[in-house]
């Protein structure tokens, strides 16, 4: 089994909290060592039909610290790099990271998203996200629009500097 696959397997096994999911594993060179960048996030709570309509709480810094220790211990025990030195980074996805999977849209219910499809951009607030599509509220007054993931060329969260509650005042 290639080292990359083995690392993913070891990291997944080290995640004992069912609410935490392995979002990504990235490998790159860092001088004479390999850099292993692990991205974790919290699983969204989906309805039985697979749709999410509530925001998912973020992974905390304490969660990341605990998980980083568990992953490091597991990688040290298993030695998927054959004992070679490596640098481990464990974190959560940044707000500017592109949304690529249904689970990533589901985690971001309630946030403002910019979606590009057919060369045109649409910005709206994610109301619901399901296994095959996302529903966003666009404009004032808000009009809901359902967008199939298959038609999305690019999507990312728009950084907001005020909360939803502050906008209602």
Q: Judge whether 3-91 and 102-168 match in fold.
A: no
pLDDT for 34 equals 84
Question: Of the CATH numbers 3.40.120.10, 3.30.160.250, 2.30.30.520, 3.40.50.300, which one belongs to the domain with range 102-168?
Answer: 2.30.30.520
pLDDT for 165 equals 59
Question: CA 66, CA 60: separation in Å to the nearest integer?
Answer: 10
> What are the domain boundaries of the chain?
3-91, 102-168
Q: Please, is 117 exposed, middle or buried when counting C-beta atoms within 10 Å of its C-beta (0-12, 13-18, 19+)?
A: middle
Considering only CA atoms, which of 85, 86, 100, 99 is closest in space to residue 37?
86
pLDDT for 32 equals 82
The reply to whether CATH 3.30.1540.10 applies to domain 3-91 is: no
- Phi, psi (rounded to 5 degrees) for 101: -120, 160
Question: CA 44, CA 111: separation in Å to the nearest integer?
Answer: 14
Question: CA 139, CA 23: separation in Å to the nearest integer?
Answer: 31
pLDDT for 162 equals 73
Q: Within 13 Å, how many C-alpha atoms sit on residue 9's CB side?
A: 9
pLDDT for 10 equals 92
pLDDT for 112 equals 96
pLDDT for 79 equals 85
Q: What is the pLDDT along the chain (169 residues), one digit of tens a residue?
A: 566 788 899 999 999 999 999 988 998 877 888 899 999 999 999 999 999 999 999 899 999 999 999 999 999 998 887 888 889 999 998 877 899 999 999 999 999 999 999 999 999 999 999 999 999 999 999 999 999 999 999 999 998 887 655 555 5
pLDDT for 2 equals 61
């Amino acid at each position: 089994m290639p080292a990359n696959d083995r690392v993913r397997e070891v990291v997944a096994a080290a995640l004992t909290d069912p609410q935490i999911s392995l979002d990504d594993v990235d490998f790159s060179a860092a001088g004479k060592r390999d850099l292993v960048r692990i991205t974790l996030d919290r699983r969204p709570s989906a309805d039985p039909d697979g749709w999410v309509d509530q925001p998912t709480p973020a992974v905390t810094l304490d969660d990341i610290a605990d998980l980083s220790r568990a992953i490091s211990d597991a990688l040290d025990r298993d030695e998927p790099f054959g004992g070679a030195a490596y640098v481990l980074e464990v974190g959560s996805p940044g707000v500017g990271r592109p949304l690529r999977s249904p689970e990533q849209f589901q985690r971001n219910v309630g946030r403002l998203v910019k979606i590009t499809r057919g060369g045109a951009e649409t910005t709206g607030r994610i109301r619901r996200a399901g296994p095959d599509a996302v529903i966003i509220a666009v404009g004032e007054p808000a009009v809901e629009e359902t967008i199939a993931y298959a038609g999305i060329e690019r999507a990312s969260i728009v950084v907001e500097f005020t909360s939803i509650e502050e906008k209602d005042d």
